[in-house]
Amino acid sequence: MFTSNFKNESFEFIPQVRHLDISTCKIQEIHKGALTILKNLTYLDVSNNTCIKCEGLENITSDLQFSNIKILKVNYLLKISDLTTVLKTSHIKGLHNTSLQNVFVDGNRLQTIEKNALTYLPKSLKFLSVRRNPFKFGYYLADVLHLSNLETADISDLYLHKTDFNPEKCIFDSICTCNEDSVNEPSYMDHSVISSLYVKDEIRKRDISDIFSLAEIPIPTNLKHINYSSGSLVMDIPKLMFSRNKVETIDLSNNILHSLVGPIVNVESLKILNMANNFCSNITNVFFSTDFKNLEHLNFHNNLLGIILPDDNDGKIFHNLESLIEIVLAQNRIPNLPENIFKSQRNLQKLDLSDNILTDINFRLSHMMQLKELDLRGNRIAIISDHIALQWESLARKHNFSVDLNKNLLECNCLSIKFIKWMTTTNVRLRNIKKYRCMLWNRTQVSLHNPKETYNLLKKHCTSYEHLEIALVSGILLFIIIVVGAVVYRYRWKLRYLYYIVKVKYSSLHSEMEEEYSYMYGAFVSYADEDRIFVHNTLLQKLEVENGIQLCLHKRNFLPGNDIATNITSAIHNSRKTLVVMSHNFLKSYWCMFEYNMARMESIYERRNENVVFLMFYEHMCSTDLPLNVLEMIQSKSYIEYPNDEYGDTVFWDQLVNALK
């Protein structure tokens, strides 16, 4: 049929036609009544006839009211250069009493719809496509509730237009322009309607994105699928509440939705949500409300969630998504994921983390008993840790579990030999393993399609260095032990003193300032047990009884129950002086030398080098009999020898009393 105009008699000889496709036929005009004779018509396509315009659409729909039409395609009835249009009631009024189920009105430069016009679409309508129309927000949105049986609405690609390099030459240039008066809005509106539907007035001139200023988003009762991809939305999604609905699929991909704030409510039936390609960098912990309990498929492909997900240590973002079967987080520049990020996704079957910048796998998978596919392609993973490999093995024993590690920075060296060995024995299905490549110890890349061969190569290489590594590590450890041992031996008495003095200080319940400290004893007497008769009979009588110097003797003053070292350190610390009764027996006694060294440490570190150690030689001793630490003190400090004559005895006791007082 090659006519450019359709008149009343055009179809008089084929009235039984059911399927009529007159798309792309350069039709100039369809007269009213031209299609009336086609009573059995169920399919009509008049798309890509850009000279028909709005007037022709009105003629078409008017004639179809007498037909059995089920599918109507009226795409691209205007040129791309035409002004934006208004869909009026008169354009579609004739469809009201038809059994129409599918309508395609793509690319018709529709900017708005006359109020109440949508109410004339038939109740039987199930599918509506209005793609590539630059819609603006308006009162007509409230009318979508009348489309009670609508199941699918495609409102995608709003500002995308089909290029027309050879536009048709039309006889009539009149088109239905977007005149504000043609919208036929009333001069008033019932205030109860405004309060229940709108948050603000005077919104008819705003963009389609202002739909989100509604207190409740109107959704047809039986609508199941919404496609709003490439809708040029540039915004943050605020708190939203949908009207009662049965929506199962929402596609908001290819917009610019920077931040998902929420919460979103009344989405109990939602199973599929596509948020791909939205430059989204933030999802609040409340965006996915408990109403998302039935969501099964979530797509965040190509966003910027690598900014927010690494900080979700408690898994709050996806906490309410317990029914998820598939989640796509590919191309989100994710550097790492916390251990509990997916703690609520026990039913997950597929997890796509491909093309991120992951260097390691830290998140837990062991609770995902249904997980079958893990996609880690195109990351920066060098090695899989043992505990993650064990989790994967556990999943593989339950069902067919696969992992894709293609295009990662896998390493084949002595550090990763255990991982390469795991690859040779694992039950996990390594997808695309023939494409795996890894970097050897010499920085050359080799194919990893045969892990067993690579493992044998590594085993041979690493064994040759094993003995050298053991010897090197042993040598380093031995050197450290020698150095530490030498330091400990060099400062052994200082360390022992510090240990016991700290123990003494902190075992006391009442501590005092050093300036106000009062000593319990005038002197602590350090002596050998063989010299006890001299100490107990003579020394005690002369110093304590006759001169009032309170002495601390280990036989008399040490506390029972305490260990000897603690008693010694406490006695020295609580005595003003330490009197050493030096003899051959003293030098032979371990505890006597311990007392001597502890007294020296007390003098150096606690008394600021004050001379608190006083040597009294009870026997005549040669310098060769004395140890170095005693000789050092004799050379730098004064000492006194016990005399054998009566006159010297008197002078000796006077000097000793003066020294101790």
Spans of all domains in the chain? 1-161+174-232, 519-660
**Radius of gyration, alpha carbons of the chain:** 48
150, 122 Cβ separation under 8 angstroms: no
Mean pLDDT of 194-198: 34
Mean pLDDT computed over 154-178: 72
Quote the CA–CA distance of 131 and 109 in Å, as a whole number: 10
- Quick count: other Cβ atoms within 10 Å of Cβ 428? 19
Domain at 1-161+174-232: CATH architecture: Alpha-Beta Horseshoe (3.80)
The residue-averaged pLDDT of 219-242 equals 91
| pLDDT on residue 150 | 94
What integer is the mean pLDDT of 586-604? Answer: 86
Q: In the predicted model, is pLDDT for residue 182 greater than 60?
A: no
Question: How far is residue 43's CA from residue 35's CA, in Å, rounded to a whole number?
Answer: 12
Per-residue pLDDT at 250: 95
As a whole number of angstroms, the distance between CA 599 and CA 368 comes to 67
SS3 406: coil
Q: What distance in Å separates the CA atoms of residue 299 and residue 277, rounded to the nearest whole number?
A: 10
Q: Output the average pLDDT for the chain.
A: 84
Q: CA angle, corner 113, sides to 110 and 119, nearest 5?
A: 135
Predicted confidence band of residue 334 (pLDDT cuts 50, 70, 90): very high
Q: In this structure, what DSSP letter does residue 399 have?
A: S
Q: Does 572 score more than 70 pLDDT? A: yes
CATH of domain 519-660: 3.40.50.10140
Confidence of residue 442 (pLDDT cuts 50, 70, 90): confident
d(CA 53, CA 265): 41
Given a cut of 60, whether residue 283 has pLDDT beyond it is yes
Predicted TM-score (pTM) of this structure: 0.66
